Structure 1
Amino acid sequence: MTNRRQFLSFAALGLASSSALADSLTYESFHHALDGNARLMAYADHTGDVAGDASVLGRMPADLNGVFYRNGPGRFELGGERYHHWFDGDGFAQRWQISDGKVSHIGRFVATQKFQDESKAGRFLYPAFGTYIDRKAVKNNDSVNVANTNLLPFNGRVYALWEGGSATEVDPQTLATRGIKTWRPDLKAMPFSAHPKIDPDGGLWNFGNAPGSNQLAIYRMNAAGEVTRTAMIPVPQLNMVHDFVVSGRHLIFLVAPYEMRSGPEVSLGDSMHWAGDRLPLRAIVISKDTLALRQVFELPARSVFHFGNAYEDGACTRLDVVLHEGDALRKVGLPMRGQMRMVDDNPSSTVQITLDYASGQAREARMFGVSEFPRVMPQVVSARHRKLLVLGASGRELILDSVNVIDTDSGKVDGYAFGPGWQVEEHVLIPRRGARSETDGYVVGVAQDTRRAQSVLTVFDAHNIKAGPVALARLPYRAPVCFHGNFLAA
């Protein structure tokens, strides 16, 4: 892969300068706010590994057996300091085992080099995405790898993923950290996104991005975990790209209108400045067969984190995505300081975008209001789909508390709201064996009962979400909120 040295040098953009440190004001303001707002418990620090059995309310489906792997940030505080952004926390991997109607759980920190160095020192040493720290030199991307975004079962192994560096392998049973995974010697420490896409043949597409490098790295891997194709795609004014989508013939990325302005004592997150008044949202389309740029589309400026799915429709590609008005990146960090953001400040919506290659135009159709974490059944990834799972917010504040399946043809929504006191995490669609439709299966996820400070596994019949969960598996403790995960059927 060409330009690897340059790619890695840009990965450290904004992550090192002189001597500024994380301050204690964030720590104090958060704990002051936490005393009067139980919902902030979801952003509280976690200090150790956990294990326990869940109490099941309802009946766990007899044909639902497997492991739900999850990952998210768990350590936000050390030595009296607190990180400034939700994306900064050290990874806390979780394993929900569903077997014969019973549910057990374990959770443990991913023992990255960063986590071990800082645990030994008793304080933060390395820069984080949204918090500038400069106490120890950064050798490469993996010096600051927090392994906190996804947990991927692939080819008999399990990987903790973080978009800025290597995958970190963990034990599938115990979640003990096995170490950094280098897919190929020349790819050592290269960014490997936390949102790979599994193809029907068992292979995998992924990308790597270093904000400020103006290059996207593309990876194609076979079912055996071997890298078979790579490419470097020049993309001007490239910034943070968190997710992408794969259709039958294309890889599609959305680049939000941020400008990179690095400087002394500035974190990577703070170096990204919203430029939506001057720049558009860009759709970057790459052809699968050539791994070359095919076309660029421009849309009204919005920010974006997550996609649902994409498929070819004649001479067009259709894709589902959640778009946020304005600068959502900065708003995501507010709860870390004890502030809950309002929907009116940053509304989001799930839309279907149609990319018309002949006209060069992109059209949008809104499908759902305030929402996040879109998912589809695994068997329809990159193909025509008609059902889209999203989380929603039933109140004025952007607290995700509902589970919804959208019929993308009719626009009808089958949904259930947990209501006040709950914060719902990403849910996934799980097909029954031999499933004949996109709702022939289950919806499984995790919800935080903030009033009881307990984490709860939730199970829905995918064909009837509005009836509510068919089973709830309640832990006797609170586990950290996760970003993403995947279910591995037994």
Structure 2
Amino acid sequence: MGAFPQTIHFIGTNTPRQQEYRLENLEVEGEIPSAVEGTFFRAVPDNAHEPMFENDIALNHDGMISAFSFKGGKVDFAIRYVETERYLAEKEAGRALFGRYRNPFTDDPSVKGKDRTVANTTPVWHGGRLFMTKEDGRGYEVNPHTLETEGRWDYEGKLKSETFTAHPRIDPETGEMFFFGYEAGGLCTLDVAYCIADKDGNLVKEQWFDQPYCSTIHDFVITENYAIFPIFPTLADLDRIKEGGAHWAHHQDLPSYLGIMPRYGDVSEMKWIEGPIGVSCFHEVNAFEEGDTVHVDLCLTDTNAFQFMREAGGIDIPQQEIQGALTRWSVDMTADTLAIEERPLGPPGDLCRVEDAVQGRPYDRAWYLSMNPDAKGPPMLGGPVGANFNALLRINPNTGQLSMMETPPGAAISEPAHVVDPAEGHGGWLLTTIDIPNGPPGAGDPSDYSSELWIVEADAIEKGPVAKIRTGKALRSQVHGTWVSHAKLDASVRKG
């Protein structure tokens, strides 16, 4: 193309930055809590080259990994591209060679058969290793000290699935990582690989099953006894892809499903339960058992939140008209006929977080992003849906009690990470990046903003930040992030 398109996927916080750099001893306003010692890793999509097609989307952009490193009250920052096979091929050519999102039929012939993943969605820490992941391929290992790419990770040749989820779940008591890959056998297959890695990062189990239709299984959840796969009617179609079309198209007339199996069991024990028609969800908050009942809490909307996935399905619903809620799906596992009972828990939103210690267990607090109904000025442009979130919510799902942290007018907020405070026990801190316009909100250049990292008391978010770390830069939109303590970094497989 020779230039970046001026669509929502390339303006605002989606503006290409294309910079690798390191900053030392960032400016700090306030006091960094003593418990915040370690590194906050963030996944950042950012094109290394202009795209081949005008209608390219943010999900298709090269992965970068950034790191805010805390030590002794000082903060450093670094960001580097993940050197995937795709990134290296395009770097050598000096231009884009891979075409539309998850459509190899639109690629330059020179890269036929090469790994297409951009590893741009989630940093995952397990077994002393750091991985950058995206669900359309296997993860890439990254050195947590230098951010250098070590290579594609397949559990030393043991992993058969061609894909690896960006949302594995780690059991807080056993240390095991439960994960999956959909389209595990190739493009548009129904295959899903369900896998378990032990606490040391060894793959100990992989088994495959078919889902009811070829859907985007972005996330899943575990409880102490179950693995649970919520799927929604955003479907892939091989004929459409071969014709150069979109990988995903939402179907408003098809049901959702909940697949539930014993987490250490056989996939033949999977039970599929039909859910509401046309709904969508990208992220589940948590799941847990209450007697014989399994609860799944999820960020549910009445249609797919991504406009390009709705348009591919012929659905004309304006973004501002989409309805949703933080929602609980409950299933009595002893019932003669398994069914989903649904009830709302809280306001709509996404990019949710619970503390690691309650993964798959009953919990009494969670955090997620939403829109402040009393915000002054329009939201900041960017992110995969075109408008960024501008508020952080804390919810007690048992009582519905809510609190909110506001952001400056016109600012954007990214998914938080939770840091345990050993001195407080059940408390801790949240780390979240805030993008603040340099001019009046909604006026001027939407790419002109400054990014800060805020540290917030996890149980008193309404008080605002106790510390702000200023980068002096405009950081590109983050997808997901993860916190890794100094103790874990010191014991990592890779050394600095």
Are 2:420 and 1:449 equivalent residues in the alignment? Answer: no
Q: State the AA in 1 paired with 2:93.
A: A
Distance 1:137 1:83 in 2: 22
Q: 1:162 to 1:372 in 2, by over 3 A?
A: same
Q: 1:484 to 1:267 in 2, by over 3 A?
A: farther
Distance 1:284 1:73 in 2: 31
* 1:99-157 Cα distance to aligned partner (Å, 9 max, x none): 222221100111111111112212211244267732035555x6101011111222222
What is residue 6 of structure 1 aligned with on the other side? none
What is residue 182 of structure 1 aligned with on the other side? 154
The alpha carbon displacement at 1:199 in A equals 1.2
Residue segments in structure 1 that go unaligned for 5+ positions in a row: 1-22, 35-39, 335-340
| SS in structure 2 at match of 1:328 | coil
Are 2:219 and 1:243 equivalent residues in the alignment? Answer: yes
Normalising by the residue count of structure 2, what TM-score does the alignment of the two structures yield? 0.84
The alpha carbon displacement at 1:171 in A equals 1.2
What is residue 413 of structure 1 aligned with on the other side? 402
Distance 1:331 1:265 in 2: 14
What is residue 101 of structure 1 aligned with on the other side? 73
Distance 1:383 1:446 in 2: 28
What is residue 349 of structure 2 aligned with on the other side? 371
Distance 1:124 1:333 in 2: 26
The alpha carbon displacement at 1:320 in A equals 1.2
Q: 1:296 to 1:304 in 2, by over 3 A?
A: same
| SS in structure 2 at match of 1:143 | coil
Q: State the AA in 1 paired with 2:415.
A: E
Q: Retained in 2: the 8 A contact 1:64–1:98?
A: yes
Task: Pick the aligned partner of 1:484 from 472, 480, 483.
Answer: 480
Task: Pick the aligned partner of 1:324 from 301, 314, 326.
Answer: 301
Report matched runs for 1:296-375 at 5 Å. Answer: 296-300=272-276, 301-331=278-308, 343-357=319-333, 358=335, 359-375=337-353
Q: 1:130 to 1:230 in 2, by over 3 A?
A: closer
Are 2:437 and 1:465 equivalent residues in the alignment? Answer: no
Distance 1:127 1:348 in 2: 33
Q: Retained in 2: the 8 A contact 1:150–1:161?
A: yes
Normalising by the residue count of structure 1, what TM-score does the alignment of the two structures yield? 0.85
| SS in structure 2 at match of 1:299 | strand
Distance 1:162 1:471 in 2: 31
Q: Retained in 2: the 8 A contact 1:86–1:332?
A: no
Deviates more, 1:412-421 or 1:375-384: 412-421
Distance 1:327 1:403 in 2: 22
Distance 2:411 2:205 in 1: 44
* 1:461-480 Cα distance to aligned partner (Å, 9 max, x none): 11211011111111011222
Q: State the AA in 1 paired with 2:231.
A: V
Deviant stretches of 4+, over 6 Å = none
What is residue 401 of structure 1 aligned with on the other side? 390
Distance 1:265 1:237 in 2: 16
The alpha carbon displacement at 1:417 in A equals 1.3
| SS in structure 1 at match of 2:33 | coil
What is residue 255 of structure 2 aligned with on the other side? 280
Q: Retained in 2: the 8 A contact 1:127–1:267?
A: no
Deviates more, 1:444-453 or 1:107-116: 444-453
Distance 1:421 1:76 in 2: 28
Q: Retained in 2: the 8 A contact 1:91–1:148?
A: yes
Deviates more, 1:288-297 or 1:126-135: 126-135
What is residue 21 of structure 2 aligned with on the other side? 50
Q: Retained in 2: the 8 A contact 1:85–1:333?
A: no
The alpha carbon displacement at 1:328 in A equals 2.1
* 1:4-46 Cα distance to aligned partner (Å, 9 max, x none): xxxxxxxxxxxxxxxxxxx67x944339x98xxxxx3211112
Report matched runs for 1:256-295 at 5 Å. Answer: 256-263=232-239, 270-277=246-253, 279-292=254-267, 293-295=269-271
Residue segments in structure 2 that go unaligned for 5+ positions in a row: 312-316, 380-386, 439-447, 487-496
Distance 1:360 1:192 in 2: 29
Are 2:128 and 1:136 equivalent residues in the alignment? Answer: no
What is residue 139 of structure 2 aligned with on the other side? 167
Distance 1:285 1:275 in 2: 23
Are 2:204 and 1:228 equivalent residues in the alignment? Answer: yes
Q: 1:389 to 1:264 in 2, by over 3 A?
A: closer
Q: CA RMSD in A?
A: 2.6
Distance 1:426 1:233 in 2: 32
Q: Retained in 2: the 8 A contact 1:445–1:458?
A: yes
Q: Retained in 1: the 8 A contact 2:216–2:235?
A: no
Identity in percent:
22
Q: Retained in 1: the 8 A contact 2:43–2:123?
A: yes
Deviates more, 1:454-463 or 1:127-136: 127-136
Q: 1:390 to 1:105 in 2, by over 3 A?
A: same
Distance 1:193 1:433 in 2: 31
What is residue 430 of structure 1 aligned with on the other side? 419
| SS in structure 2 at match of 1:166 | coil
The alpha carbon displacement at 1:291 in A equals 3.2
What is residue 491 of structure 2 aligned with on the other side? none
What is residue 9 of structure 1 aligned with on the other side? none
Q: Retained in 1: the 8 A contact 2:188–2:238?
A: no
Task: Pick the aligned partner of 1:65 from 34, 37, 40.
Answer: 37
Distance 2:476 2:285 in 1: 24
Distance 1:169 1:82 in 2: 31
Q: State the AA in 2 paired with 1:42.
A: T
Q: 1:268 to 1:390 in 2, by over 3 A?
A: farther
Distance 1:333 1:116 in 2: 32
Q: 1:225 to 1:139 in 2, by over 3 A?
A: farther
| SS in structure 2 at match of 1:361 | coil
Distance 1:267 1:144 in 2: 18
Distance 1:65 1:247 in 2: 30
Distance 2:309 2:213 in 1: 22
What is residue 20 of structure 1 aligned with on the other side? none
Distance 1:248 1:183 in 2: 25
The alpha carbon displacement at 1:214 in A equals 1.2
Deviates more, 1:250-259 or 1:216-225: 250-259
